[in-house]
């Protein structure tokens, strides 16, 4: 792109956020599996490089540079920006230029282009200068004009489609045969009308007072490095074929028409082994399948800041990951595991990419493969089941001893598998404002000396103990009807019993009618059905013995206090 809006307020906005042009191209190209590889901008001069994700591991040594030539080299309205990289082992450079305008500035255009070639130097042992690369693509608003011919004849040739009569007067065609700096550059035939200058919003050439002569100012050229004595074996077989070279007359938002070209590049040899090979299962349907094994190539320089990202098919750039894990192993053949919290929601196709901090690019790709929602749901179900079988203490209202604690509390013992110190598991208390204090409910204080097993591990999963805190109820009021649950069935093998409903399994009272007790039904509070209610006539008497050793576990709803434990998002820790 040339002449992108580069006003101060626009530049500040683009510096703080992703610029609108990059967002636009990523939105358009990402559905076709193109990923943004690199960008470089100098005021209104902009260059973006995209590649298909399967080619990313073979794009290495990516570098950018820019050269100002406006106002004697002090201003960036004119000049050149470039991106160079190794493509399958061959050095390729893309150079975008905006050269001086006007017919009489041909010699200055030559000098500015020579300055750009001289000033832009890259690091590394191979291809330090632009013309040292195996293949160079040179394009942009080069501003070369048509000499000698009158504007009326130029328009006549365009209308009559005899463009060949204009080619020999084109300044760039003349310069390719006379300027040594342009030796070896090639261009396809100009079979499309001149792309400058149009009245904005129309397809009519300049009708202003200046009446500028139409010209092919926007060009795309390429150059193949001639094989020399120091050329590595196999490099001489590089060939380029131009498949398309055209303009798009339907766009009228500028006084230029956009130009596009399609090339086919053939290498006699190529480097087709990635720096990092990644191995992964074809589908992640269970959490234990989320294991990634990777192997480093000999000579690869790893870093402690390298990471492996999980990308959804259609991702836009290397930082557009769903989650990631650090790849800090010192071994050449190692593995990492994505935790259940890092797995994405839903079902879809995903890709794994190894991001090298030293190379600032993805050097290894695996996939696509499927990740199903079952993988995350399974882990959540295991965690929920472990919580439901753990010890739960619920306090409603105030204790008989006249405790000063007026607020309701919920005490939940987390599973040992999630405790940072399994040997010293602690209780975590949290205020629960939704558990109000109800009149007529008396708290029986919990005791740590009870015989309930506090081990929530699946291996030793047992029912809840029979001596849970009792919550006495007031005597039945006139007009209120209550029914007793069915008699307790014989004890099962593991202390459980089969009942008609989960509520009846616990031997609980059912309160009917629109009373405060009905509204205080523990079922409406999201509590587990492991409470026993007794009449208020014997609040201090011994608790009724029960042979119920715990009801079958039930699934918690999303609004239940036993929802998914909070996890840390992988995005909370952004790699440097």
Q: How confident is the model at residue 471 (pLDDT cuts 50, 70, 90)?
A: very low
pLDDT at 244 exceeding the cut of 60:
yes
**Cβ contacts of 376 within 8 Å, gap of 6 or more:** 287, 340, 343, 344, 345
Question: What pLDDT is attached to residue 437?
Answer: 40
Q: How far apart are CA 342 and CA 410, in angstroms?
A: 29
Is residue 229 predicted with pLDDT exceeding 80?
no
Give the phi and the psi of residue 107 in degrees, each rounded to 5. -65, -35
Domain boundary residue among 349, 373, 397? 373
Give pLDDT tens digits for 289-311. 999 999 999 889 899 999 999 99
Residue 383: left if φ>0, alpha if ψ -120 to 50, beta else—which one?
alpha
Whichever domain contains 13, its CATH number is 3.60.10.10
CB 116 within 8 A of CB 79: yes
Is pLDDT of 169 > 80?
yes
Task: Round to whole Å and give the CA distance between 47 and 38.
Answer: 8
Of 502, 488, 482, 491, which is closest to residue 553 (Cα–Cα)? 502
DSSP of 152-219, one letter per residue? HHHHHHHHTT-THHHHTTBHHHHHHHH-GGGTT-B-----S---B-B-TTSSPBP-SSS-PPPB--EE
Does residue 196 lie in a domain region?
Answer: yes
| DSSP assignment letter at 443 | B
Same domain, 39 and 168: yes
State the pLDDT at residue 489.
Answer: 39
How far apart are the C-alpha atoms of 116 and 123, rounded to whole Å? Answer: 16
Q: How confident is the model over 122-150, as pLDDT tens digits?
A: 998 889 999 999 999 999 999 999 999 99
What pLDDT is stored for residue 227 in this prediction? 80
Domain around 184 = 8-267
The reply to whether 262 and 280 lie within a common domain is no
CB 62 within 8 A of CB 83: yes
Do residue 250 and residue 191 come from a single domain?
yes
Q: Assess whether 294 and 229 both reside in one domain.
A: no
Residue that terminates a domain, selected from 241, 267, 293: 267
Q: Which residues pair with 224 in a beta bridge?
A: 135
* Model confidence pLDDT, tens digit, residues 43-94: 999 999 999 999 999 999 999 999 999 988 888 899 999 999 999 999 999 9
Q: How many domains does the chain have?
A: 2
CA distance linking residue 128 with residue 147, whole number of Å: 36
The per-residue pLDDT for range 251-265, each reduced to its tens digit, is: 999 999 999 999 999
Same domain, 196 and 312: no
Tell me if 501 is assigned to some domain: no
Residues 151 and 60 in one domain: yes
Tokens of 382: 């295991």
What was the pLDDT predicted at 536? 56
> Could you tell me the pLDDT band of residue 271, with boundaries at 50, 70 and 90?
confident
Is the domain of 192 the same as that of 285? no
Angle at 487 between CA 482 and CA 488, to 5 degrees: 125
Copy the structure tokens of residue 428.
Answer: 């975590």
Q: pLDDT confidence of 447, banded at 50, 70, 90?
A: very low
- Report the pLDDT value the prediction gives residue 455, as an integer from 0 to 100: 40
Q: How confident is the model at residue 483 (pLDDT cuts 50, 70, 90)?
A: very low
Across 521-528, average pLDDT: 49
The answer as to whether 86 is a domain residue is yes
Inform me whether the pLDDT recorded for 409 exceeds 70: no
What is the pLDDT, as a whole number, of residue 388? Answer: 53
Look-up of token digits 């008497």: 541
| Phi, psi angles (nearest 5°) of residue 483 | -125, 145
What's the burial of 312, exposed, middle or buried (CB within 10 Å: 0-12/13-18/19+)?
A: middle
If asked whether residues 310 and 259 sit together in one domain, one would say no
At 324, which CATH number? Answer: 2.60.40.2840
Do residue 299 and residue 227 come from a single domain?
no
Q: pLDDT confidence of 545, banded at 50, 70, 90?
A: very low
Residues 289 and 158 in one domain: no
**495-523 tens-digit pLDDT:** 444 434 444 444 444 444 555 445 555 45
What's the pLDDT at 68?
A: 96
DSSP state, residue 422: G
Looking at 417-515, list the stretches that DSSP marks H as alpha helix, in order from N- to C-terminal side: 502-505
Q: Poorest-confidence range of 4-8, 186-190, 251-255?
A: 4-8
- Asked, for residue 432, whether it belongs to a domain, the answer is no
484: in domain: no
Per-residue pLDDT tens digits for 379-392: 555 555 554 544 44
What pTM value is reported for the model? 0.66
Signed CA dihedral, 200, 203, 205, 207: sign only: negative
Residues 170 and 113 in one domain: yes
Query: Could you tell me if residue 565 is inside a domain?
Result: no
3-state secondary structure of 407: coil
Helices 171-178 & 106-119, crossing angle to 10 degrees? 60
- Of 290, 381, 373, nearest to 339 by C-alpha is 290
Average pLDDT over residues 170-199: 96
Residue 432 has pLDDT above 80, yes or no: no
Residues in Cβ contact with 499 at an 8 Å cutoff, skipping those fewer than 6 apart: 485, 486, 489, 505, 551
Within-domain flag for 283:
yes
Per the CB < 8 A criterion, the answer to whether 147 and 103 are in contact is yes
What pLDDT is stored for residue 377 in this prediction? Answer: 57
Query: Which of the listed residues 358, 373, 388 is the one where a domain comes to its end?
Result: 373
Q: pLDDT for 357-377, tens place per residue? A: 999 999 999 989 999 866 555
Among residues 47, 73, 42, 80, the alpha carbon closest in space to that of 62 is found at 47
Q: What is the pLDDT of residue 57?
A: 96
Residue 532: the pLDDT is 52
Let me know: does 309 contact 321? Beta carbons within 8 Å: yes
Q: What pLDDT, on the 0 to 100 scale, is given for residue 321?
A: 96
Q: What is the pLDDT of residue 17?
A: 75
Residue pair 475/434 in contact by the 8 Å Cβ criterion: no
Band (174; pLDDT cuts 50, 70, 90): very high
pLDDT in tens, 206-215: 999 999 999 9
pLDDT at 356 over 50: yes
pLDDT of residue 135: 97
- Together in a domain, 210 and 314: no
- Residue 556 has a pLDDT of 37
In a domain, 469, yes or no: no
């Amino acid at each position: 792109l040339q002449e992108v809006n580069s006003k101060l307020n626009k530049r500040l906005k683009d510096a703080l956020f992703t610029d609108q042009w990059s967002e636009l191209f990523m939105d358009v190209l990402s559905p076709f599996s193109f990923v943004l590889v690199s960008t470089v901008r100098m005021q209104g001069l902009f260059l973006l490089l995209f590649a298909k994700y399967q080619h990313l591991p073979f794009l290495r040594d990516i570098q950018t540079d820019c050269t100002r030539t406006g106002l004697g080299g002090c201003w960036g309205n004119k000049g050149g920006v470039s991106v160079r990289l190794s493509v399958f082992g061959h050095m390729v450079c893309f150079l975008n230029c905006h050269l001086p305008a006007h017919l009489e500035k041909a010699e200055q255009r030559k000098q500015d282009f020579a300055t750009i070639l001289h000033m832009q130097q890259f690091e590394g042992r191979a291809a330090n200068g632009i013309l040292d690369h195996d293949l160079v693509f040179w394009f942009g608003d080069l501003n070369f004009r048509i000499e000698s011919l009158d504007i009326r004849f130029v328009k006549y040739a365009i209308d009559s489609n005899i463009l060949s009569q204009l080619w020999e007067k084109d300044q760039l065609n003349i310069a390719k045969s006379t300027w040594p700096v342009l030796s070896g550059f090639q261009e396809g035939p100009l079979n499309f009308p001149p792309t400058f200058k149009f009245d904005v919003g129309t397809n009519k050439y300049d009708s202003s007072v200046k009446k500028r002569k139409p010209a092919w100012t926007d060009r795309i050229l390429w150059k193949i490095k001639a094989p020399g004595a120091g050329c590595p074996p196999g490099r001489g077989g590089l060939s380029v074929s131009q498949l398309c070279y055209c303009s798009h007359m339907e766009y009228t938002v500028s006084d230029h028409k956009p130009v596009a070209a399609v090339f086919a590049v053939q290498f006699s040899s190529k480097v087709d082994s990635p720096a990092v090979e990644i191995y992964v299962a074809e589908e992640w349907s269970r959490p234990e399948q989320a294991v990634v094994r990777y192997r480093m190539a000999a000579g690869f320089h790893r870093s402690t800041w390298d990471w492996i990202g999980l990308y959804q098919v259609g991702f836009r750039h290397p930082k557009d990951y769903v989650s990631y894990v650090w790849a800090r192993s010192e071994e050449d053949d190692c593995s990492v595991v994505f935790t259940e919290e890092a797995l994405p929601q839903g079902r879809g196709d995903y890709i794994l990419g190894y991001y090298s901090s030293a190379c600032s690019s993805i050097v290894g790709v695996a996939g696509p493969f499927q990740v199903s929602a079952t993988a995350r749901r399974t882990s959540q179900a295991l965690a929920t089941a472990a919580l439901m079988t753990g010890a739960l203490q619920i306090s409603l209202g105030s204790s008989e001893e006249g405790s000063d604690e007026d607020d309701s509390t919920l005490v939940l013992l987390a599973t040992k598998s999630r405790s940072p110190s399994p040997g010293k598991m602690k209780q975590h208390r949290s205020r629960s404002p939704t558990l109000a204090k109800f009149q007529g409910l008396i708290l029986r204080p919990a005791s740590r000396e009870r015989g309930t097993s506090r081990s929530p591990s699946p291996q030793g999963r047992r029912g809840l103990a029979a001596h849970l805190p009792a919550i006495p109820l007031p005597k039945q009021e006139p007009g209120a009807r209550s029914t007793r649950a069915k008699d307790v069935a014989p004890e099962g093998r593991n202390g459980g019993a089969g009942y008609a409903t989960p509520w009846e399994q616990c031997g609980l009272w059912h309160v009917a009618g629109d009373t405060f007790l009905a509204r205080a039904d523990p079922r409406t509070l999201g509590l587990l059905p492991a409470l026993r209610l007794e009449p208020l006539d014997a609040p201090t008497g011994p608790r009724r013995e029960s042979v119920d050793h715990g009801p079958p576990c039930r699934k918690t709803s999303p609004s239940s206090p036993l929802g998914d434990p909070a996890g840390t998002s992988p995005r909370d820790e952004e790699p440097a």
